[in-house]
Amino acid sequence: MPKMKTYKGAAKRFKLSANGKLRRLKQGKGHLKRRSPKRSKRQFDKLLTDDLNSHKRRIQRLAPYLKKNS
C-alpha cells in the first residue's frame, strides 16, 4: 500500500507539542500591522492549543506524519 500524502498547508500550520497536543499560531500577523499597538502585535506570537484538540483526528488525517516538538 502506498504512503499517505501530507497536505503541506496543514503541515506548515500545525505542530505537535511534546505531550501530543496540537499547536498553531494565531491568524492575522501577516501584514498591515504598522498602526497596530505593540501589545496587540505581541498577542499574535502566542501558540494556541485549546481549540484544536476537537479537530485532532481531522488534522492528523491531513498531515499523518506530523513530528513532535521536544
**Residue 2 is assigned to a structural domain of this protein:** no
Tens of pLDDT along 10-20? Answer: 999 998 888 88
Question: For the chain, what is the domain count?
Answer: 1
**Residue 51 is assigned to a structural domain of this protein:** yes
Strands 47-48 and 22-25, how do they pair?
antiparallel
What CATH number does the domain containing 44 carry?
Answer: 4.10.410
**Residue 70 is assigned to a structural domain of this protein:** no
Tens of pLDDT along 25-44? Answer: 988 888 999 999 999 999 99
pLDDT tier at 68, thresholds 50, 70, 90 = confident
Three-state SS for 65?
coil
Residue range(s) defining the domain that contains residue 24: 8-62
pTM, entire model: 0.74
Mean pLDDT over 33-56 rounds to: 88
**Residue 69 is assigned to a structural domain of this protein:** no
Mean pLDDT over 55-70 rounds to: 85
Alpha-carbon distance of 59 to 10, in angstroms, equals 7
